[in-house]
Amino acid sequence: MDKVVATAAAAVADVPDGASLAVGGFGLSGVPNVLIEALHAAGPGGLSVVSNNCGVDGGGLGILLEAGRIVRVTGSYIGDNKAFARKYLGGEVEVELIPQGTLAERLRAGGCGIPAFFTPAGVGTPVAEGGLPWRYAADGTVAVASPAKEVREFDGTPYVLERGITTDFALVRALRGDRHGNLVFAKSSRNFNPLAAMAGRTTIAEVERLVDDLDPDEVHLPGVFVQRVLPLTGEQAAAKGIEKRTVRA
């Protein structure tokens, strides 16, 4: 099946208001910037996003966040995104912060059809006991707090129950891909992109290089998880940000 789409606008044209999105990327590595910019231009709002982080000021998911399109973020950290911190503390966006490994496994589990799993990460903390501020009120009080989760012992060790994550759509970026949606990722961009792709019911992949054939042994994500493939231009593929630029004389 040929899954190639001609333009980024066509790739995200059916993403509606209120959609949930799993978005790949690790810091600034492997962020599907072209698809995010197309989604910004398309205009849907009320989006719930699951991603390791929510971009940076003026880049990645930060574009949608600053435009007021995102209402909820499920992720691991806020980082240096000042707009994200301001909107969270001001009650403009709901934020569920999750231990990074737990987030990765929740995405993978959802993609594999596993509804929930037990993990020791977070036992004895508000992650398990509840009370983490998901949304603040305008006066700084906690408007919505995280609920307590089930904790069960296995062989004398406590574990907390975590739910698998699935989303309406997933946006990911790959180094190489073929027309069937098989993907190869580069280095740290492999950390969350395959997992986000698995969690989405409709997964859209922007690829830096579209190839005719991939060696099955080098495929990181099989095409069964990918519904649309967007080949990038050379200029789009080369445009990559640097989170913390360090220079010397």
Report the 10 Å Cβ neighbour count for 92: 16
**So what's the pLDDT on residue 180?**
97
Question: Of the candidates 74, 69, 44, which has an alpha carbon nearest to the alpha carbon of residue 166?
Answer: 74
User: Can you name the CATH fold of 8-115+164-232?
Assistant: Glutaconate Coenzyme A-transferase (3.40.1080)
What averages of pLDDT result for each successive group of 10 residues across the chain (249 residues)?
Answer: 96 98 92 96 97 90 95 91 92 96 97 98 97 94 97 98 98 97 95 97 97 94 98 85 79
**So what's the pLDDT on residue 249?**
82
State the first-to-last Cα distance of the chain, in angstroms, to the nearest integer: 53
| Pairing outcome for strands 157-163 and 70-75 | unpaired
Domain ranges of the chain: 8-115+164-232
**So what's the pLDDT on residue 247?**
87
CA angle 242, 246, 249 (to 5 degrees): 140
Going from the C-alpha of 39 to that of each of 94, 134, 140, 220, the distances in angstroms are: 20, 25, 31, 26
H helix runs in 138-240, sequence order: 193-199, 234-238
**So what's the pLDDT on residue 81?**
87
**So what's the pLDDT on residue 58?**
86
**So what's the pLDDT on residue 170?**
98
